[in-house]
Amino acid sequence: MRKVLMAAAMMAASSVAMAGADCQEHSEAEQMHILDMQKKIVNEYGFAIKKFLRSGDCYEIYGWGLSDDGSKFERIEVYFDTKTGAIVKKEID
């Protein structure tokens, strides 16, 4: 029982650490189409998408991207503005 409680506490702590981004709300008509956003993520930002989803007022991906120095691929979690496709928040694992 103690192990179960400890695991639950660790999961809760990790979900708090990976809080979402504060994206601006846009009407449905203003939002970039999902396929256009995915193209932008791959072609302009160079990210490899493992999982793409809508998170509140953001588009969100889990995937891989080059490190800041360009030496290796790292797991990333990135939030994007739904209208412009701009990066709102990026977390590197």
Tens digits of residue pLDDT in 60-88: 999 999 888 888 999 999 999 999 999 99
Helices (H), 1-93: 2-17, 34-43
Domain total in the chain: 1
Strands 73-81 and 48-55: unpaired
For residue 31, the tally of other CB atoms under 10 A from its CB is 19
The set of residues, in sequence order, having a beta carbon less than 8 Å from that of 76 and lying 6+ positions away, is 47, 61, 62, 63, 64, 65, 90, 91, 92, 93
For the whole model, what pTM was predicted? Answer: 0.76
CATH of the domain at 69: 3.10.450
Structure tokens at 68: 């800041």
Query: What's the pLDDT score for residue 71?
Result: 87
In a domain, residue 72? The reply is yes
- Average pLDDT, rounded, for the chain: 85
Question: Is the pLDDT score of 55 beyond 50?
Answer: yes
Give the pLDDT score at 2. 54
Which of 57, 47, 53 minimizes the C-alpha distance to 88?
A: 57
Phi, psi (5° rounding) for residue 10? -65, -40
**Domain, as residue range, for 40:** 31-93
71 inside domain: yes
Q: Residue 56: inside a domain, yes or no?
A: yes
